[in-house]
Amino acid sequence: MEIRLLPWLRQSLAVLRKDLRIEFRTRYAYSALIMFAITTLVTVSFSVGGFVLDADITAALLWIILFFSAMAGLARTFVHEEETGTVTALKMAAQPEPVLIGKYLFNLTLLFSLAVLIVPLFLVMLNQTVLLPGALIAVILLGCLGLAGASTILAAIVAKAGAKSSLMTVLAFPVLLPLLFAAISATRVAFAGGLPQAIAADLLMLFFYDGIVVVASLLLFEYVWNE
Amino acid sequence: MVVTGRKEAGKLLNQVAVRGLSKAYRRRILFKDISLIIPDRSVFVLLGPNGAGKTTFLRIICGLIPATSGQIEIIINGQVLSPREKRTQIGLVSPDLALYGELSAVENLEFFAEVRGIPFSLARARELLHFVGLQGREHDLLDTYSSGMKQRMKYACALLHQPHILILDEPTTNLDESGVALVDKIIKQQKQQGIVIIATNEPREVAYGDQTFTLA
Amino acid sequence: MLGPLILGIWMSGVIIASFLYMPATQGLGEMGRIIVYHVPAAWIAVLAYLMAMINSVGYLRRGQLHLDRQAQVNAELGTVFCLLATVTGAIWSRGAWGQYWNWDPRQTSIAVLLMIYAAYFVLRSAIDDPDRRARLSAVYAILAFFTVPFLVFIVPRIYFSLHPDLINLADRSFDMDSRMLVVFLASLAGFTGLYVWLYNLQIRLENLAYRLEMKRGE
């Protein structure tokens, strides 16, 4: 594997720009993400009613919503290439790594824009106070980085496996569990407050998880992409 | 004599060498132990009934799928191309290759130029689109194109990076008379500077072939 | 035929010894006998999963389908022994701490391990083409292997766990009686033999099934 970072970066950005352009015109993935998140959020909020839930529970709910929204929307980018047959043209033109990085950046953009919208809405609708807002932002950022990372390579696998709809969730859940555990535990601290040490370990874990997922994806993607 | 000698040497520097190529899909053997050499400045035509494995053969040359055994070497300037270098030297037009319908013709060309890491200019894109007969529709989305226009667009994309080897699977599908004339022009032009590989059963396309090979 | 016979006698011996020869452990009492089954089962699960991983990496590097069959058999055996370790662990947990399942970090990590391989088998069953199945499932197994050690190895050490730490077992107060140690080591050897025997059986079966399919095609 030859590594030439600058051309890679430029080609990745080309993939990102192409995907954003298509997404802007069709809104396939984003509408799936948003609709899923809003629907679950409204359902949860409605059934909770006026109760104020424990921070333990709201933290878990937040990540469950983010996780399943990601599953609903983030596979789209690879599946769409496979379904329309553009994957052959892309393979003939691009190296594998820029494709992966471009798609990763695309999924990251989707997830961040979802989080910016859904997290404040979540806090308002569930009457959740945030004692450590800085920590919450850090957790969401690191969590989304890992969530998008694992989803991107798994989406590539699912697209090759015939895009069976439930497959994405089945594959992603165990791989993402370490991330979810750490993110939920850190979010709880960010909601309810606590010692900095309590959240530092989880943030560190998220940080390492993100790094490992991206590196592992880069090493493995070639085997998924090429036959 | 000296001139022919140099020409022969030039041919050896660029060639596609197929060595003992076999492909089986699960239990079914598509083809077995094919060896041949496609020299530079020539047109190679692959014949055979539907399902004989013509498209598969082309996909193996492109490096899109692996061979069951044997190998294909693409030699440019005396160097065997690595799998990663193949994409820079091959232009592919095929029914199962699609371009982005949600993008315009110019946007498609822009994207493929960027992702290949070659410079892009609007003038070059216009020139290319004019060449394949798509002038006036440069900024329309490909989804609004007819199938013949989409086929022309595939030629624009395949020629964008000036590949040494042009691989055409059923080159004139969906094309009208002027489209067929365009393909004729492209094949003759490419033959002057490189290699053309065609999979077809159309008699008029078979006639281009300096060398033909029939898959049973 | 001699191998399986010796193995059968050996394992029977271990089972009998674990109840009659081995003394009840201090603290755990009669419940302590389960260590003879729980630890070797967990060891074989780790061994088989590790072999599956090595086979998967080998497949990606060399693309030979027999390596994929080995990975599959190892993953299956790993899962069987992992289930055994989970069940014996839950029984032990009930005896020692009063609950079958309490999401102790060690239990969490083994549950995740089982889920990963469940997903691995779902993925395999979703793909028809053998090469593609081999490639994608190998990638998934390796990806999971990269990410999940967090849970299996790091989490139980960060968070407080009731589970005895095997790595530090030697210098803990948990002294093994010499008779118990003999039975334990014999069981470890027996389980390893069992794994080798099952593995060879399964591989022969898979190879025959593959050759039969090839033969039908000709």
Tally of domains within chain A: 1
pLDDT above 50 for B5: no
pLDDT above 80 for C215: no
Confidence class of residue C162 from pLDDT cuts 50, 70 and 90?
low
Q: How far is A124 from chain C (nearest CA, A)?
A: 32
CB A162, CB C126: distance < 8 Å:
yes
Gap between the Cα atoms of C84 and C39, Å rounded: 10
> For residue C127, what is the nearest residue in chain A, using CA coordinates?
A161
Task: Return residues 168-227 of A near C (CB < 8 Å).
Answer: 170-171, 173-175, 177-178, 181, 201, 205, 208-209, 212-213, 215-217, 220, 223-224, 227
C119 touches chain A (CB under 8 A): yes
B176 burial via Cβ count (<10 Å: 0-12, 13-18, 19+):
middle
Q: Any idea which of A199-213, B108-122, C16-30 has the lowest mean pLDDT?
A: C16-30
pLDDT above 90 for C73: yes
pLDDT above 80 for C29: no
Report chain C residues whose CB lies below 8 A from the CB of A223.
60, 135, 138-139
Q: So what's the pLDDT on residue C23?
A: 76
Q: Identify whether C20 is part of a domain.
A: no
Q: Identify whether C15 is part of a domain.
A: no
A159 touches chain C (CB under 8 A): no
pLDDT above 50 for B1: no
Predicted model pTM: 0.89
Q: So what's the pLDDT on residue C156?
A: 54
Looking at this protein, which amino acid is placed at residue C136?
A: L
Q: So what's the pLDDT on residue C171?
A: 45
> Helix (H, G, I), strand (E, B), or coil: what is residue C160?
coil
Confidence class of residue C158 from pLDDT cuts 50, 70 and 90?
low
Report chain C residues whose CB lies below 8 A from the CB of A169.
none
pLDDT above 70 for C28: no
Q: So what's the pLDDT on residue B154?
A: 95
For each of the domains in chain B, give its residue range(s) and CATH number, in order of start: 39-65+82-214 (3.40.50.300)
Q: So what's the pLDDT on residue C21?
A: 82
Give me chain C's average pLDDT, please.
Answer: 83
Report chain A residues whose CB lies below 8 A from the CB of C155.
178, 181
Q: So what's the pLDDT on residue C175?
A: 59
Q: What is the mean pLDDT of residues C9-18?
A: 88
Q: So what's the pLDDT on residue B7?
A: 47
pLDDT above 90 for A119: yes
Q: Which two tokens stand for residue A133?
A: 């807002």
Q: Please, which chains are in contact with A (at least 3 CB pairs closer than 8 A)?
A: B, C
C91 touches chain A (CB under 8 A): no
Q: How far is C43 from chain B (nearest CA, A)?
A: 37
C210 burial via Cβ count (<10 Å: 0-12, 13-18, 19+):
middle
Could you tell me the residue range of the domain that residue C52 belongs to? 34-164+173-217
Q: What is the mean pLDDT of residues C188-197?
A: 92
| ipTM of the prediction | 0.90
Q: So what's the pLDDT on residue C157?
A: 56
Contact C130 B26 (CB under 8 A): yes
Confidence class of residue A171 from pLDDT cuts 50, 70 and 90?
very high
CA distances from B38 to B33, B200, B201 (A): 16, 17, 19
Tally of domains within chain C: 1
Closest to B103 (Cβ–Cβ): which among A22, A91, A226? A22
Confidence class of residue C214 from pLDDT cuts 50, 70 and 90?
confident
Could you tell me the residue range of the domain that residue A173 belongs to? 5-225
pLDDT above 50 for A83: yes
Give me chain A's average pLDDT, please.
Answer: 90
C146 touches chain A (CB under 8 A): yes
Contact A22 B92 (CB under 8 A): no
| Model pLDDT for residues C88-138, shown as the tens digit of each residue | 989 888 887 888 888 887 788 888 889 999 999 999 999 988 889 999 999
> For residue A226, what is the nearest residue in chain B, using CA coordinates?
B64
Q: What is the mean pLDDT of residues B31-35?
A: 89
Q: So what's the pLDDT on residue A227?
A: 79
CB B23, CB B10: distance < 8 Å:
no
Q: Is the dihedral of CA B67, B73, B76, B82 positive or negative?
A: positive
| Model pLDDT for residues B179-195, shown as the tens digit of each residue | 999 999 999 999 998 99
Q: So what's the pLDDT on residue B11?
A: 52
Contact C218 B66 (CB under 8 A): no
| Model pLDDT for residues C173-189, shown as the tens digit of each residue | 455 677 888 888 889 99
Q: So what's the pLDDT on residue C180?
A: 80
Contact C143 A153 (CB under 8 A): yes
How many Cβ contacts (< 8 angstroms) between chains A and C? Answer: 87
